[in-house]
Amino acid sequence: MDEFTKRVEEDMAYGDTDGSPGRVLAACQDSETDIYLLVMAVPTSALMDGVGPELFRTPDKKKFLACLNEEMLWEKAQEIIAEQNEEPEEKKNSLMAQFIAEQLPPLFERAREMEPLDI
């Protein structure tokens, strides 16, 4: 767990080096396969189909970039705010985290099936 925590902290810090908001939303790891997803918000233009989510392999055979459509995330956040206006921020954040987590199982499945990079 300490190694995973260290890796997440390093990856999360990388997005904030210039003081702008980072695009890294989360990091998660499958305990059975050790596949590690770094979850990022990206513009629709960065996605092959313009919708996503998209998955990209990194040189590290167990690490992948999971790219979620930032417009979709923004729309979901606005929906949660409208529907849960009277609720505390913690509940709204929890609902958004749950929405992001729902995107992950198919990405882990795709990651298991992807061939390693030929570098």
DSSP code string of 9-69: HHHHHHTTTTSSPPSEEEEEE-TTT--EEEEEEE-GGGSTTSS--EEEE-SSTTEEEEEEE
Domain boundaries, the chain: 2-113
Q: Please report, rounded to a whole number, the percentage of residues in the chain having pLDDT higher than 90.
A: 61
Residue 12 tokens, joined: 């999360």
Question: Edge-to-edge, what's the strand order for the sheet holding 36-42?
Answer: 24-29, 36-42, 63-69, 54-57
The structure's pTM equals 0.78
At 77-115, the pLDDT tens digits run: 999 999 998 999 999 999 999 999 999 999 999 999 998
